[in-house]
Amino acid sequence: MGSTGSGPPRRPQTHGRVKRFNGRIEEVLQTHHFDSTADLDTTLHRYVELYNHHIPQKALGHLTPIQALKNWQLSHPHLFHKKVYNHAGHDR
């Protein structure tokens, strides 16, 4: 993917990015009290939305993951079967 991608799977660079993301999730889990499974589920979904839509990533050229994905789709439309939307939640 070049300088704006996360790199191919099973590479040290990709593994490091996954470990950092999981470490951030672990911080959320250790610093919050959850009253129920639903509360935990809501918190994790909100964090993933925040991460994907609002936190620029250095490895992605200081773009958010969704911005980088949309740019990738514009430059390589033949690789996508669905349009990348700039909103959280599942495509319907």
As given in the structure block, the two tokens for residue 53 are: 């839509």
pLDDT in tens, 18-45: 888 888 888 888 898 899 999 999 998 9
Q: What is the pLDDT of residue 88?
A: 57
The whole-chain average pLDDT of the chain stands at 82
